[in-house]
Chains A and B, each alone.
Chain A
Amino acid sequence: MGKTIQIQPVTRIEGHARVVIQLDDAGEVNDTRVHVMALRGFEKFAEGRPVEEMPRIVNRICGICPWNHHLASVKATDKVFGVELPPTAVKLRRMAQHLAWIPDKLLHFYFLAAPDFVIGPDADPSVRNVIGIVGAAPDLARKVVHLRQKGAMLLEDWLGKVIHPVAAVTGGFSTPLAAAIQQRIIEETKEQLEFAQFTIKFAKENVFPKYLDTVKILGNFDSGFLGTVTADGTWDIYDGKLRLMKRDGSYDDFTYEQYSDYLEEHVEGWSYVKMPYAKKWGEGFSMDLAAPKGIYRANCLARINVCDRMPTPLAQKELEEFRAAFGRPAQFTLLYHWARLIELVANCEMALQLAQDPAILSKDVRAQVTPKAGRGVGCVEAPRGTLIHDYTGDGEGFITNANLIVGSTHNQAPINMSVNAAAKALIHGGVVNQGLLNKVEMAVRAYDP
Chain B
Amino acid sequence: MAVRVVSEWLSSCSGCEISILNLGDVILDLIPAKLQLVHIPALVDSKYFGPNGDGTHLTLPECEVGIISGGVRNEEQKEVALELRKKCKFLIALGTCATNGGIPAQANAWDNADVLNKVFKGSITTPPAETPTQVVPKLLDRVYALDEIPGLKVDIYLPGCPPHPDWIAAAILALLDGKTEFKLPERSVCDTCQVIREKKAAGGANIKRSLTNATFEAEEPIQKMRCLMEQGFLCLGPVTLAGCAGKEGNPRCIDARMPCRGCFGPIKKTSNPLVDMMGALTSVGINPQSVPDRRLILNRFIGAHNKLRPLPQRPGMPGPR
Expressed in whole angstroms, the minimum distance between the Cβ of B98 and any Cβ of chain A is 13
Task: Flag A40-77 by CB within 8 Å of B: 1 or 0 each.
Answer: 11011101111011001100111110100000000000
In the bound complex, do residue A12 and residue B42 qualify as a contact, i.e. CB atoms below 8 Å apart? yes
Known: A12-B45, A50-B209. A40 touches B293 (CB 8 A): no
Residue A231 CB within 8 A of the other chain: no
Q: Which residues of A contact B14 (CB under 8 A)?
A: 14-15, 62-64
Residue in A41, A53, A145, A152 whose beta carbon sits within 8 Å of that of B107 in the complex: A41
Interface size class of B (residues with CB under 8 A): 35 or more
In the bound complex, do residue A35 and residue B135 qualify as a contact, i.e. CB atoms below 8 Å apart? yes
Known: A107-B21, A432-B53, A434-B52. A179 touches B219 (CB 8 A): yes
**CA A37 to CA B24, docked complex, whole Å:** 30
Q: Which residues of B contact A137 (CB under 8 A)?
A: none
Expressed in whole angstroms, the minimum distance between the Cβ of A364 and any Cβ of chain B is 11
**CA A270 to CA B132, docked complex, whole Å:** 6
Binds B, one of A16-24, A202-210, A300-308: A16-24
- A155-193 with Cβ < 8 A to chain B: 156, 159-161, 163-167, 169-172, 174-179
**CA A163 to CA B76, docked complex, whole Å:** 27
Q: Closest residue of chain B to A125, judged by CB?
A: B45
Residue A263 CB within 8 A of the other chain: yes
In the bound complex, do residue B256 and residue A161 qualify as a contact, i.e. CB atoms below 8 Å apart? yes
Binds B, one of A1-9, A324-332, A351-359: A1-9
Residue B258 CB within 8 A of the other chain: yes
In the bound complex, do residue A128 and residue B135 qualify as a contact, i.e. CB atoms below 8 Å apart? no
Residue B139 CB within 8 A of the other chain: yes
In the bound complex, do residue A61 and residue B300 qualify as a contact, i.e. CB atoms below 8 Å apart? no
In the bound complex, do residue A264 and residue B256 qualify as a contact, i.e. CB atoms below 8 Å apart? no
- A344-379 with Cβ < 8 A to chain B: 363, 365-366, 368-371
Residue in B18, B107, B124, B218 whose beta carbon sits within 8 Å of that of A63 in the complex: B18
Q: Which residues of A contact B256 (CB under 8 A)?
A: 159-161, 165-167, 174-175
In the bound complex, do residue B218 and residue A175 qualify as a contact, i.e. CB atoms below 8 Å apart? yes
User: Do most interface residues of chain B lie in helix, strand or loop, or is the interface mixed?
Assistant: loop
Q: Which residues of A contact B150 (CB under 8 A)?
A: none
- B50-83 with Cβ < 8 A to chain A: 51-55, 58, 73-74, 76-77
In the bound complex, do residue B321 and residue A48 qualify as a contact, i.e. CB atoms below 8 Å apart? yes
**CA A366 to CA B214, docked complex, whole Å:** 11
Residue in B22, B136, B255 whose beta carbon sits within 8 Å of that of A35 in the complex: B136
Binds B, one of A219-227, A289-297, A392-400: A392-400
In the bound complex, do residue A265 and residue B125 qualify as a contact, i.e. CB atoms below 8 Å apart? yes
Residue B211 CB within 8 A of the other chain: yes
Residue in B42, B44, B119, B258 whose beta carbon sits within 8 Å of that of A43 in the complex: B119
Task: Flag B16-28 by CB within 8 Å of A: 1 or 0 each.
Answer: 1111011011001
Residue A335 CB within 8 A of the other chain: no
**CA A274 to CA B133, docked complex, whole Å:** 13
Residue in B16, B124, B258 whose beta carbon sits within 8 Å of that of A403 in the complex: B124
Residue A437 CB within 8 A of the other chain: yes
Residue A282 CB within 8 A of the other chain: no
Residue B154 CB within 8 A of the other chain: no
- A392-422 with Cβ < 8 A to chain B: 394, 397-401, 403, 405
Task: Flag A71-110 by CB within 8 Å of B: 1 or 0 each.
Answer: 0000000000000000000000000000000000001000
**CA A53 to CA B37, docked complex, whole Å:** 37
Q: How many inter-chain contacts with C-beta < 8 Å in the A-B complex?
A: 293
Q: Closest residue of chain B to A400, judged by CB?
A: B318
Residue B185 CB within 8 A of the other chain: no
Task: Flag A267-280 by CB within 8 Å of B: 1 or 0 each.
Answer: 11111101010000
In the bound complex, do residue B52 and residue A433 qualify as a contact, i.e. CB atoms below 8 Å apart? yes
In the bound complex, do residue A269 and residue B134 qualify as a contact, i.e. CB atoms below 8 Å apart? yes
In the bound complex, do residue A274 and residue B118 qualify as a contact, i.e. CB atoms below 8 Å apart? no
Q: Which residues of B contact A401 (CB under 8 A)?
A: 318
Expressed in whole angstroms, the minimum distance between the Cβ of A376 and any Cβ of chain B is 14
- B152-201 with Cβ < 8 A to chain A: 161-162
Known: A12-B42, A15-B14, A175-B256. A48 touches B115 (CB 8 A): no
In the bound complex, do residue B17 and residue A63 qualify as a contact, i.e. CB atoms below 8 Å apart? yes
Known: A174-B258, A366-B213. A264 touches B125 (CB 8 A): yes
Q: Which residues of B contact A175 (CB under 8 A)?
A: 213, 216, 218, 256-257
Q: Closest residue of chain B to A17, judged by CB?
A: B41
Task: Flag B88-117 by CB within 8 Å of A: 1 or 0 each.
Answer: 000000000000001110110110001110
Task: Flag B126-141 by CB within 8 Å of A: 1 or 0 each.
Answer: 1101101111110100
Known: A21-B53, A60-B103. A149 touches B24 (CB 8 A): yes
Q: Closest residue of chain B to A150, judged by CB?
A: B24
Residue A38 CB within 8 A of the other chain: yes
**CA A240 to CA B252, docked complex, whole Å:** 31
**CA A38 to CA B68, docked complex, whole Å:** 16
Residue A129 CB within 8 A of the other chain: yes
**CA A126 to CA B211, docked complex, whole Å:** 51
Expressed in whole angstroms, the minimum distance between the Cβ of B93 and any Cβ of chain A is 16
Residue A287 CB within 8 A of the other chain: no
Expressed in whole angstroms, the minimum distance between the Cβ of A150 and any Cβ of chain B is 9
Residue B31 CB within 8 A of the other chain: yes
**CA A5 to CA B25, docked complex, whole Å:** 38
Smallest CB-CB A-B distances: 8 pairs: A63-B15, A48-B319, A160-B256, A47-B319, A267-B129, A160-B255, A5-B53, A434-B51
Given A11-B42, A43-B119; 13 other pairs, CB 8 A cutoff: A36-B136, A47-B318, A48-B319, A49-B296, A52-B211, A56-B261, A63-B15, A112-B43, A141-B28, A163-B15, A166-B256, A267-B126, A397-B209
Binding site for B on A (CB under 8 A): 3, 5-16, 18, 20-21, 33, 35-41, 43-45, 47-50, 52-53, 56-57, 60-64, 66, 107, 111-112, 125-126, 128-131, 134, 141-142, 145-146, 148-149, 152, 156, 159-161, 163-167, 169-172, 174-179, 259-260, 263-265, 267-272, 274, 276, 363, 365-366, 368-371, 390, 394, 397-401, 403, 405, 432-434, 437-438, 441
22 A-B residue contacts at CB 8 Å?
Answer: A5-B52, A15-B14, A35-B136, A38-B11, A43-B122, A48-B296, A48-B321, A52-B210, A63-B14, A63-B16, A107-B21, A149-B22, A149-B24, A152-B22, A161-B253, A172-B213, A175-B256, A264-B125, A264-B127, A267-B127, A276-B125, A371-B209
